[in-house]
């Protein structure tokens, strides 16, 4: 990518296309009943999840990201060589390095693209959108692909009933493009992003980084995700509501002006709590948690793509996305959906 600041004049970022890839393998609650001491009734009543998709043994995160990226480009009718930047939000990369985004850019033929990953866990897609919008509206880039991709099944302890029931694998994302011609009311309206690292130990994978390198040896449990579910639950219910309200307040808007809310798909009780506190009509909230579980950085764009396919997300709608995740992090974004 080569860009010159301000060179695009009054550049304006637009959410032009959505796409996804979900691996075919399915893990049901009945499968989990055979794996750990749990029941379908417990999982459904405490989380709302019935099944999740699981990557095949030969599929790493980039393999999912590549297929999602191709799906987005074919939806948009855009050639991979037109992509200036490819951003992959992920916290389950193939390797510490090289990045998933660099692997993905080569594989899809985006040979002009700069590529980098973002590590903001389940908030990562919205963090990635903020980067894409900043790149486009500064004039540095004209077309940016943001592909959230995760293979959480590889970092979840299959014997830990508190976590193995929650997560699934998927990749999904969006193409952000520069528009010269635009209505004043179009495009991205605002973001609210945050992080509280003091709570980082509530949700972490202890081994594999520089604090506890894998080469130094480790207990097998420490290579898996570890979570204080109750603390993360309390944090999530607070930030989902606060983040949306802070953004609306800053924009001098109300929740009634939002056409569609797409919350991070982590737990139905967290989503229901946010719906109640925000006072939004549940008919204006889209979710697909029961079929995919928590797919982290892929969760919000996967829900967006499915809402589009279901005719729930329609051109011109004002959409609020909100998420939270490891870090701990949170993020909200308000955008008018204007597909190519
Ligand atoms: N089946 C049956 N019983 C279970 C299961 C299970 N799968 N899991 C836990 N239990 C038991 C516990 O052992 C506990 O038993 P005890 O009372 O005898 O000790 C009991 O159920 C209640 O446990 P809690 O942890 O209090 O259950 P809770 O209602 O909080 O639900 C859950 C647990 C679903 C994990 C919830 O806390 C949650 O969803 N938290 C948020 C998780 C989340 O969204 N994480 C996002 C991660 S995003 C990212 O960035 C990776």
Q: pLDDT for 12-34, tens place per residue?
A: 899 999 999 999 999 999 999 99
Domain match, 257 and 283 both: yes
Retrieve residue 253's tokens.
């808007």
Mean pLDDT of the 114-134 span: 98
Domain match, 194 and 332 both: yes
**Per-residue model confidence (pLDDT) at position 83:** 98
Answer yes or no: is pLDDT of 184 > 60: no
Residues of the chain with pLDDT > 90, as a percent, come to 93
Number of domains in the chain: 2
**Per-residue model confidence (pLDDT) at position 328:** 97
Domain match, 61 and 82 both: yes
Do 236 and 267 contact (CB within 8 A), yes or no?
yes
Mean pLDDT of the 196-224 span: 96
Instruction: Please indicate whether residue 332, judged by its CB atom, sits closer than 6 Å to ligand 1.
Output: no
Sign of CA dihedral 278, 280, 286, 289: positive
Task: Report the candidate in 67, 89, 69 with the shortest Cα–Cα distance to residue 78.
Answer: 69
The CATH number linked to 314 is: 3.40.47.10
Domain match, 211 and 167 both: no
Range of the domain at 18: 7-182
Domain match, 174 and 200 both: no
Q: How many angstroms separate the first and last alpha carbons of the chain?
A: 22
Answer yes or no: is pLDDT of 334 > 70: yes
- C-alpha 146/C-alpha 132 separation (Å) is 7
Question: Is 178 inside any structural domain?
Answer: yes
Q: Helices H, strands E: what count in the chain?
A: 9, 13
Task: Report the candidate in 296, 162, 148 with the shortest Cα–Cα distance to residue 226.
Answer: 162
Question: Is 1 inside any structural domain?
Answer: no
Residues of the chain with pLDDT > 70, as a percent, come to 96
- What's the CA-to-centroid distance between 230 and ligand 1, angstroms? 7
Domain match, 283 and 329 both: yes
Instruction: Please indicate whether residue 162, judged by its CB atom, sits closer than 6 Å to ligand 1.
Output: yes
Mean pLDDT of the 145-151 span: 98
Per-chain mean pLDDT for the chain: 95
- C-alpha 279/C-alpha 240 separation (Å) is 13
Question: Is 43 inside any structural domain?
Answer: yes
Question: Is 2 inside any structural domain?
Answer: no
Instruction: Please indicate whether residue 267, judged by its CB atom, sits closer than 6 Å to ligand 1.
Output: yes
The pLDDT tens digits for 35-57 are: 999 999 999 999 999 999 999 99
Residue linked to tokens 């855009």: 78
Do 263 and 44 contact (CB within 8 A), yes or no?
no
Residue after which a domain boundary falls, among 182, 203, 231 = 182
Rounded (10°) CA dihedral 333, 106, 69, 335: 20
Question: Is 224 inside any structural domain?
Answer: yes
Whole-model pTM: value is 0.96
Domain match, 257 and 278 both: yes
**Per-residue model confidence (pLDDT) at position 9:** 60
Residue after which a domain boundary falls, among 167, 182, 197 = 182
Residue after which a domain boundary falls, among 154, 182, 210 = 182
Domain match, 174 and 291 both: no
Domain match, 34 and 96 both: yes
Retrieve residue 170's tokens.
């998927």
Answer yes or no: is pLDDT of 181 > 90: no
Domain match, 24 and 113 both: yes
Among protein residues, the one with the nearest Cα to ligand 1's atom 24 is 230
For 158, other C-beta atoms within 10 Å of its C-beta total 13
Domain match, 248 and 294 both: yes
**Per-residue model confidence (pLDDT) at position 6:** 62
């Amino acid at each position: 990518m080569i860009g010159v600041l301000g060179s695009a004049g009054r550049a304006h970022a637009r959410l032009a296309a959505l796409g996804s890839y979900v691996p075919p393998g399915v893990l049901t609650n009945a499968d989990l009943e055979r794996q750990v001491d749990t029941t379908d009734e417990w999982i459904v009543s405490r989380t709302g999840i019935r099944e999740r998709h699981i990557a095949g043994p030969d599929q790493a995160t980039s393999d999912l990201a590549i297929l999602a990226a191709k799906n987005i480009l074919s939806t948009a009718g855009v050639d991979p060589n037109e992509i200036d930047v490819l951003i992959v939000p992920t916290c389950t990369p193939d390797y510490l390095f090289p990045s998933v985004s660099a692997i993905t850019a080569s594989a899809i033929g985006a040979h002009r693209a700069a590529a980098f990953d973002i590590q903001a866990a389940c908030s990562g897609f919205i963090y990635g959108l903020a980067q894409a919008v900043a790149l486009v509206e500064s004039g540095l880039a004209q077309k940016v692909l943001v592909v959230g991709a995760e293979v959480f099944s590889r970092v979840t302890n299959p014997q830990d009933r508190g976590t193995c029931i929650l997560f699934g694998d998927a990749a999904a994302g969006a193409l952000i493009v520069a528009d010269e011609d635009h209505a004043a009311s179009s495009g991205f309206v605002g973001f609210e992003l945050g992080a509280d690292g003091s709570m980082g130990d509530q949700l972490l994978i202890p081994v594999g980084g520089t604090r506890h390198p894998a080469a130094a040896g480790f207990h097998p449990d420490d290579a898996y995700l570890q979570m204080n579910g109750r603390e993360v639950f309390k944090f999530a219910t607070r930030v989902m509501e606060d983040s949306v309200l802070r953004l609306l307040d800053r924009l001098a808007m109300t929740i009634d002006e939002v056409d569609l809310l797409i919350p991070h798909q982590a737990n139905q009780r967290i989503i229901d709590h946010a719906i109640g506190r925000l006072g939004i009509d549940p008919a204006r909230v889209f979710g697909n948690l029961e079929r995919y579980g928590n797919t982290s950085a892929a969760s919000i764009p996967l829900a967006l793509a499915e809402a589009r396919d279901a005719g729930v997300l329609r051109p011109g709608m004002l959409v609020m996305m909100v998420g939270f995740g490891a870090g701990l992090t949170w993020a909200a974004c308000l955008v008018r959906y204007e597909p190519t």
